[in-house]
Structure 1
Amino acid sequence: MAEHHDAVSIIRTKRDGAELSRSQINWVIDSYTRGLVSDEQMSALAMAVLLQGMNRTEISHWTAAMIASGERMNFTTLPKPTVDKHSTGGVGDKITLPLAPLVAACGAAVPQLSGRGLGHTGGTLDKLESIPGWRASLTNAEMFAQLNDVGAVICAAGIGLAPADKKLYALRDVTGTVESIALIASSIMSKKIAEGTSALVLDVKCGAGAFMKNIEDARELAQTMVHLGNDAGVRTSALLTDMDFPLGLTAGNALEVRESVEVLAGGGPSDVVELTVALAEEMLSAAGIDADPAAALADGRAMDVWRRMIAAQGGDPEAPLPIARETEVVRADADGVLTSLDAMSVGIAAWRLGAGRQRQGEQVQAAAGVEWHAQVGDQVKSGEALFTLHTDTEDRIPAALAALGGAWSIGEAAQRRPLIHERIR
C-alpha cells in the first residue's frame, strides 16, 4: 500500500527543519508537474527549502524526481564521447560560443542545450540569434545528425526535458527563492543529466556580477552539483571562476558574437581566451581525449567547426552582424589605471539598452549592449573613450548611463583576482 501524502504536511515537515523522505519528494514533484499541487503550495515549500536547506540525500532525490518528470536523451549511439559545459551565468560570459566548436575540433561531441537570458545575464541563444538566419530550435533527429556531422550543436532544450524544472524555475523567479543552493543545484543538474551527456564541466562564477557573491557559497554550490552529477553517472567537475569584473570587452548579443569570432580567429581579449582554453582542457579530460585546445584555437580548426555549426542551423557565418542605430560614448575623466568595473552595473546597462528582457517571451535587440575599451588594470587617458553604448532606441540611453554611474573608477594601481580560483572534482 503506497503511503498517502498531502502538500500541507510536506510543507510543514520542511518548514520545521525535518528531512523530506524520497516518497514525499517524488509525490510533491510529480503532483506539482501534473497541477495537483498549486503554485501557492509549491511557493511555500520553495521558501521552506530556501530557509531550512536540504541535505545531500534530499537534493539527490529532488533532482531525480525532476528528471523523472520528463524524457531523457541518450547519446550513447554517437561514435564520440559527449561532454557539455554549464555556466552559472555572468556578464560578458560568451564562453559557450568559442568553446563548443573548440572542443568539437578536438574530437568530442558537444550537445550544448542552452537557454535565453532573463535579467542581467545574457542568454546564449539570444546571442546566436543575432546571426542572420540562425535558428535555435532543432528536433532530436536534427541534433543527432549535427553532432555526428559537425560535432557541436548549441540549441534550445526541448520542452520534454525536466518539465518540473521549467515550472519551478518560473515560480522561484517571482517568489524570492532563486538563491537556494539546493534549488539552483537541482535545477541545473536535472536538466543536464536528462540531456544525456556522459561528462559535464561546470563553470561556477563568484563575485559582484554572479549569483554567488562569495567563494564559500560558490564552492558549496559547485561541490553539490559535482556530487549530483557523479552520483547520476555523469563524470562531473567544476571550475570556480571570477565574476567581479565582466568578461572580455563586450556585453550584448551581436557584440558578444563578434568578440567570440575574434577569439576563434586567434585574437580576442586574453581573459576570454584563458577561460575558453581552461574549460576546453577540463572538458577534454572528462571526455578522455588527449588534445591541445590552444593549438586548435591557433590553427583555425575551431573556426572551421564554428562556421559549419552556424551554417548547419541556417545561419550565415559570413553575414555582417547587426549594428545599433544609436551609440553614446562615455569618456574617462582622469589619467591613470582602471581600478574597478562593476560587472552587475555593466550587465544592467546592457539590459536597459535592450540586450535583455524584463519578462519571458520579450524580444531582445540583437545590436544593443555595452562595449568597454579598457579592462581593469589597463592604463587610460582623460578624454579617451571608456565605454560605447549601443541601442536602437535612443530613449534607453539615460537609464543605461545611470546604471554605469558609479560602476568604474580610475586610480593608481589595480588589484585583479586570478580568473580561475580552483578546480572541484
Structure 2
Amino acid sequence: MNMQAPSSGVLAPPPPRTLEEMRLPIVMMRDVLLKTMFRKNVDTVPRVARAICLPGAVTQELIDLAREQALIEATGQRGAELSGEMGYQLTDNGRARALDALAQSEYYGPMPVPLQIYAEQVKRQSIRNIQITRDRLTAAMGDLVLPPDLISSLGPAVSAGRSILMYGPPGNGKSSISNGIRDAIGDRIYVPRAIEYSGQIITVYDPIVHTAAEEQEDDPTQLRRSANRFDSRYVRCERPTVITGGELSLDMLDLVYNPTARTYQAPLQLKATGGVFIVDDLGRQAEPPQKLVNRWIVPLEENRDILALQSGEKFEVPFDTLVVFSTNFHPNEIFDQAALRRIFFKIKIDGPSQENFLKIFALVARKKKMPLSEPALVHLLKNKYPTINNTFANYQPVFLIDQMISICKFEGIPYQMSPELIDRAWANMFVKDELIVK
C-alpha cells in the first residue's frame, strides 16, 4: 500500500562520544568487548566498532582501557592490503577473562543501552505523538467498506495512542481493522538492540517483530555526511506490531530468561514499545479475559510496566503501546466495570447493512473477476438471507464468491454465478444442526 507516512518528527538517538556518556558499568563494557573479540574474531578498531555498535573513538577508548589491564595487546600494522589498521588481539589473561565472562553470560556483540537512556528515547518517539487524519485512516483500511461513523470513532482512538476494545459478531473485519490501524501509523522509530538494567542485559530488537527500514544513502556531492548518523546500538524500524490470538498467555508478558545462555529476552509488550499490540480473539485464550486485562491495568493507566529478574528484583520499563483488544463477546460478559474503565475506547463493530453488503460483494467480485448476476443476487437476498434473519457479515461475500470460483473450476466452466451456484456455496457456509449417530 503506497501511502506517505505521517511526519512524526522522531528525533534520532545521538551516538555517544565518550565512554563516560555511555552510562554503563565499565566492567560490563570491557567484558562485552572481550567476549565479542573472542567470539567474532574481530581485530581492528573499525571491525570491533561495527561488532559492538559503537563509534570508533569510543571503541578505541575501550580498547585502550583493556590494554592498560593487559587483557588486549597490539599486533602492529595490518598491511596496506587490509587498510593498514592497527591490529589487536586478546592476551592469555584476556582470553581467560573472556571465557570467565561468557560463563556468566553468553551475551556479546552490540553494547546495550541503559534503561534510563532508552526511556528518554521512548518519550521522543512516543506513539502518542502520532496524529492520524481521516483520509489516512480510511486509506489504510484498503478495500474494507466501513460506515463513516466507525472511522469517526476509530480516528480519535488511534491518535490518542491509548487502549481500544473492538467488539461485535464474528466475521466483520475486527482483525482487518486492527491491521489497518497498524498501517495508518506508518512512520519509523529507533529500537534498541539490547537494554541494560542493574548489570543485566535484555535483548529487545527481534527481526520477527521489527522491520528494519532501508538505510539512507549519503549524497556523494555533499561535503557533510548525515545519513544513518545515529547511535548504531539502535535499529531504525517501522513502528512495531505484535499480533497475538488464542495462544496468548500471561507468561508471554514476562521477561524470557535463557538459563543456558544466562541472558534475558524482552517480553512481547516491551518489543511493541512505540507501536501496536493487538490481542485478537480475546476470550479464546486459556486464561480468562478478566485475568489478562488485570495484567494490563498498571501499564494502561500509568504508562509503565513492571518486570522481574530471575532474582525476584522488580523494575519499571516504559509502556508506550497502543493496545487493541478484539473480541466476539459482549464486553459485559467477560469484564467487570473496573476493567472496562481502564480501556479508553470501546467500539462496536457491527455487520454491514444490506447496502454495504452489496458494495462489498460487488467489490470482491470485481477483484476476483467474477461477473455479477442479478438473478443470483436476488435469490441470495430473497431466499437465503431470510433463513438467518438477514444477518450480514463482512466475510460472507469473499466466502461465497470463493466457493463459486472453486465449483466453476471443478466443473470446467467459466466463472459465473447463478441461483444454483449460490445454493451450493451457501451450503458450505453453515453446518446444519443434526444428530450424528456414533
TM over 0.5: no
Bigger-Rg structure (1/2): 2
Q: Which is bigger in relative contact order (C-alpha 8 A, separation at least 6)?
A: 1
